Homo-oligomer: A and B are copies of this chain.
Amino acid sequence: MEMRTVVAKAAAAEERAEYTVVGKRLARVDGKEKVAGKVKFVDDLHFPGMLYGKILRSPRAHAKIVMIDTTAAQKLDGVKAVISGKDLPSVKYATPREAGDRTPLSTDKVRFVGDAVAAVAAVDEETAEKAVALIKVKYEPLPVVLDPEEAMKPGAPQIHSHVKNNILHEVHWNFGDVEKGFRESDYVFEDRLSTTAQPHMCLETHGCVGLWEPDGRVILWTSSQSPHFRRTDLAKTLGIPLGLVSIKKATIGGAFGSKYELYPDHHLVSLFLSKKTGRPVKMILSREEEFYCTTTRHAAIFELKTGVKKDGTIVARQVRAILDKGAYASQGIFVLGSVAWRFTLPYRVNHVKFDGYLVYTNKASAGAFEGFGSPQVTYAIECQMDIIAEKLGIDPVDLRLKNATRARDIAPGGTQPVSCGLSECIEKVAEAIGWREKKRTKIPGRGLGIACTYFECGARGFVGDTDMSTAFVQVDESGVARIWCGGSDLGTGFDTVMSQIVAEALGLKLENVRITTTDTDITPFDTGIWASRGTMMNGNAVKAAAEDARKTLLAAAAEILYTQTSEVVLRDGYASVRGAGEKKVPLSDVAAYSYFTKATPILGKGFYDPDSHVLDDRGNSTPPGYCPTYLFAAEALEVHVDKETGEFKVLEVAAAHDCGTAINPTLVEGQIEGGVARGLGMATNEGLRYDASGKCINATFTDHKMFTAQDMPMMKPIIADVVDPKGPFGAKGGSQMSLVNAPPALSNAIYDAVRVRIKELPITPEKILEELGAR
């Protein structure tokens, strides 16, 4: 460790020891309410006169719509509106909106089984369902294409008329000179690896209540990760002024990226039904719809070519990536960009060439999903890392340590982490899983695997040259702080983290902080919760607002304590004079003094916009790159494989996160463990399957096994000892990465156990057995 790092760590440790709220394992601020069932999810919302909407969905994967007859549906008692595509103005949506290719209801043709064709609003759900069943649609079948490589071929069925060969988007990046890199390499490895279309399976299905007032005002209640951005989307998509649009966040019952964007088929349809009826319209997707109609992870195919020196140094990397878009753009363009970024980190490499293709198929759209392209890429890279390690005779841990990015390294394109605990994470998971010892005393059928990744902390440029969060803070007359913050708690503990940061900044106890989160009518601007940006961006914003309010609190305390503001310590609910902590005044008294004697309210405002830079079309930027800092993680696991059956069991997972200071270690550990579950699910069972006609054949929890608590291995969550210089109290963000690492770690462990390399997810006993049998 460098001397300056040692000194910085010692200083940080001393500062951390002073914290009374940050770094503590405190209970979630929303825990009691959630356990008591008192929070309101979208489906808990009820409004006078509210109607219920249902959608008629296409049974065909690709077909022209010849005729829609809604007569019988219209006549049903209790039906208030029936609409089809021809009743709606021509609006198309995607993220970014410029790529808009999806109408709320299909007009000319349907593009996947589940495409929305018509919709009904009725006085209750049952009536709406009956009415939907009465709508008659005549289709003219079109040829179906489900495989993206087939879809790219000339002559394949064309799903959208505005693109050629079904290629929605391409990315071609080139850093250094990859051909030169390969020439300078001792070995060049070429592998083809692929991943599947994992569904989000949030316990709360998607839904909303839409209200479009006759005076033009539009209100959408939904469990959005990003209400302020979606407000902009909604206004621009509908062509109405932003000031007329409100998005009100209900409690979110799982998001994982799927609740980042607007869904034309319920968000927009509910609004159009509301416009027609003049009443609020609730639409809640059924579990089956949730499976086959909402977005999935992009299934991906990588042709990965890597040049290395004999000593393991990675010299060059070339990638051809194909992402299966499904029927509509969703956020695919951003996901393809994210995929491209991911070949330049977390390992040092100078020459990188990337060619990526986003290809339409007649399946459900893929969209944002925890990891945002990273699980797919990391599966490819980390599996190949072990192939390289074996060939070179280097231990996988050592190969990774050798190439691991360090703080202040500048990666191709300009990405520069200001803090980096990757090597620490690798060492700690190796130690926790007993890597060195188990490698020496190998037990038959058991194997060890490791994988590493990095993640963004925000991402500049999604809308404009910013990655901003804003906040207001008030300390009331009883010394209770309230936060107004535009970030959404996805269930990750965001509200708790914000509250802890404000409590620490003001010297309050956590119980004396309240938080109001996103309703675009009552919380200030924020770009939303995605790319692990919450703790860094919102955290710094609420900290800045708290520090602004703190000035008033300090001034009042200084008067009461007969001292200078610079000598006042605010800590644990009290104000005292530095070095004389025994004489302390409750902050409730300080606040009351400020309001009622000094006649000064305690108000703060603040914002944070990082020093990051927008990437250009070629992936170039200047340090620190598109994020202010970056997150790192390593994960090691042990598996047992039964050679007779191919069945395997993950025995133990050690997952280490460099998330900077853990504002609440328990919450970080929760994120780590949850991520491992989703990652092992992705690796083994989770993925939509389609028959030849394009119908999803496992759109239920019976047919689609989810990785649950009872499947979980022993967990050793680890938090690296890193303090980020830009983060609030040194924090960066702690999520997404343990998911990303799990599939390759498992794949590598299975190889270690039985020398079977699964290059195509999912990893199944059948595939293992087949490989074993083939020998």
- Interface of A with B (CB < 8 Å)? 32, 36, 38, 44, 46, 48, 213-215, 232, 235, 241-243, 463-468, 470, 472, 474, 476-480, 482, 484, 511-512, 514, 516, 521-522, 524-525, 548, 592, 595-597, 599-601, 603-605, 607, 609
Contact = CB atoms under 8 A, between A and B. Distances in A.
Contact of A243 (B213, B215, B476): B476
A46 B49 CA distance: 13
Given A484-B472, A521-B516, A525-B477, A607 B596 contact: no
Contact of A46 (B48, B478, B524, B600): B48
A215 B609 contact: no
A606 to B, nearest CB: 8
A599 B610 CA distance: 9
A564 to B, nearest CB: 24
A595 B228 CA distance: 13
B605 A484 contact: no
Question: Chain A interface secondary structure, helix, strand, loop or mixed?
Answer: loop
* Chain multiplicity (copies): 2
A412 to B, nearest CB: 25
Given A476-B525, A600-B607, 11 more contacts: A46-B46, A46-B48, A241-B478, A242-B476, A243-B512, A464-B596, A465-B596, A466-B599, A524-B601, A548-B605, A603-B605
Contacts of A592: 464
A595 B477 CA distance: 33
A216 to B, nearest CB: 10
B514 A32 contact: no
A672 B715 CA distance: 73
A468 B592 CA distance: 13
A591 to B, nearest CB: 10
Given A46-B48, A599-B609, A243 B466 contact: no
A603 B526 CA distance: 12
Contacts of A463: 596
A596 B466 contact: yes
16 contacts: A38-B213, A44-B48, A232-B477, A242-B476, A242-B477, A464-B595, A464-B596, A464-B599, A468-B601, A472-B605, A474-B524, A477-B525, A484-B484, A484-B522, A525-B595, A601-B607
Across the A-B interface, give the 7 residue pairs with the lowest CB-CB distance, nearest first: A464-B596, A243-B480, A242-B478, A466-B599, A599-B609, A470-B601, A603-B605
A522 B477 CA distance: 15
A476 B467 CA distance: 15
Given A472-B472, A603-B607, A482 B521 contact: yes
A32 B215 contact: yes
A466 B600 CA distance: 8
A509 to B, nearest CB: 10
A241 B573 CA distance: 14
B599 A465 contact: yes
Residue in A242, A601, A605, A609 whose Cβ sees the most chain B Cβ within 10 Å:
A601
Nearest to A44: B48
Contacts of A479: 243
B603 A470 contact: yes
Contacts of A476: 242-243, 525
B522 A243 contact: no
Given A32-B215, A463-B596, A465-B596, A601 B525 contact: yes
B597 A465 contact: yes
Nearest to A607: B601
B48 A468 contact: no
A514 B524 contact: no
Contact of A468 (B478, B595, B607): B595
B521 A514 contact: yes
Nearest to A243: B480
A685 B707 CA distance: 76
